[in-house]
Amino acid sequence: MQDSKALPDLRVLPANLVTPHEDVDPRRVARLAERLLQEGRLKHPPVVAPIPETERFVVLDGANRCLALQKLGAPYLFAQVVHYGQPGLILDTWYHVVSGMELETFEQALQGIDGFRLLPASLEEARQALATGNAAAYIIAGDSVRIVCPRQGCTRDLALLREIVNAYKGRADIFRASNDDWNLQAPYYPQITALVIFPQLQPADILQAARSGEFVPSGITRHLIPNRAINTNFDLQVLLSPGSLEEKQAWLREWLMERMAANAIRYYAESTFTFDE
């Protein structure tokens, strides 16, 4: 621990005070709930941030885990608390690799969405349009690049983005990507259909989505969390068993002290790849 500034802010929180900012996958929630119950441990705590001027928290990472715990009837959640504006906390965007869906079917699904036009463009024009707020998104399919232009002129339209994602969600495999380079992505996904490139959201968008319930599409927000807590293997029964919030928090403090005494907490400053997620 000699290189770390402070332990992560780990808390037990009332489940009814925690809300997601993005759509979730009901099938994944069900699978997670079953796995959590079998394992009896929460490996990685969700990450949440306070919603200003309220007692509530928004889930930045781990919405499916939160809902899986609620599905199991847990009145409390174990989470890491961070704050927008703190050093090192970055909100970035994932892009979608759409794979395993016929291009014609993908195109037909897009045509079934009202409220936008697809305009051909070069890749540089599409990047510029998205960066300047003149496009809601852009779509790459091989050599074809098209800008998504809402007919009403509102580019930050979360409902439209959800409809675009819903056009292929459940009908294609979706992989997350951090760049819009078709030639770089295609070799890794032999059945690639398209790349869908989303705008850079701001913390205010995330907080507003949590307040209003008009969620961001699943799988596009990417929070880089400083001093992330992983491999906690937190005992699920602490969250499921009867008891007050004060009792749960006291248990957590004792658990942290035991982890420290056992020299079981490690801080790694270097960037890391994990191969068992």
- Report the half-sphere exposure of 214 (CA within 13 A, side-chain side): 10
Q: Tell me if 202 is assigned to some domain.
A: no
Q: Are residues 164 and 254 in the same domain?
A: no
* pLDDT of 153: 62
List, for residues 171-180, the tens digit of each pLDDT value. 999 999 999 9
Q: Are residues 164 and 238 in the same domain?
A: no
Mean pLDDT of 212-229: 91
Q: Are residues 122 and 190 in the same domain?
A: yes
The residue type at 106: F
DSSP assignment of 118-143 equals EEE--HHHHHHHHHTTS-SEEEEETT
* pLDDT of 277: 62
List, for residues 71-123, the tens digit of each pLDDT value. 999 999 999 999 999 999 999 999 999 999 999 999 999 999 988 889 999 99
pLDDT for 251 beyond 60:
yes
> Domain of 165?
95-197
* pLDDT of 270: 82
Q: Tell me if 189 is assigned to some domain.
A: yes
Q: What are phi and psi of 125, to 5 degrees?
A: -65, -40
Q: Are residues 75 and 48 in the same domain?
A: yes
Confidence of residue 269 (pLDDT cuts 50, 70, 90): confident
Confidence of residue 5 (pLDDT cuts 50, 70, 90): low
CB-CB contact of 46 with 61 (8 Å) = yes
Order of strands across the sheet that contains 95-99: 116-120, 144-150, 137-141, 192-197, 95-99, 173-177
* pLDDT of 24: 82
Q: Are residues 102 and 68 in the same domain?
A: no
Please report how the helices 26-39 and 63-71 are oriented relative to each other, as an axis angle in degrees rounded to 10.
70
Whole-number percent of the chain with pLDDT over 70: 95
Total-model pTM: 0.86
Q: Are residues 86 and 105 in the same domain?
A: no
List, for residues 120-137, the tens digit of each pLDDT value. 999 999 999 999 988 999
Q: Are residues 234 and 165 in the same domain?
A: no
Contacting residues for 205 by C-beta, under 8 A, at least 6 apart:
156, 158, 216
Contacting residues for 13 by C-beta, under 8 A, at least 6 apart:
48, 57, 76, 77, 78, 79, 81
Q: Tell me if 64 is assigned to some domain.
A: yes
* pLDDT of 6: 78
| C-alpha distances out from residue 2 to 77, 81, 92, 231, 263, Å | 29, 22, 30, 19, 12
Q: Tell me if 52 is assigned to some domain.
A: yes
Residue 19: its H or E element: strand 18-20
Q: Are residues 122 and 180 in the same domain?
A: yes
Q: Are residues 79 and 103 in the same domain?
A: no
Q: What is the CATH number of the domain that holds 232?
A: 3.90.1530.10
Domain count, the chain: 2
Q: Tell me if 204 is assigned to some domain.
A: no
Q: Are residues 104 and 73 in the same domain?
A: no
Lowest-confidence range among 153-157, 193-197, 248-252? 153-157
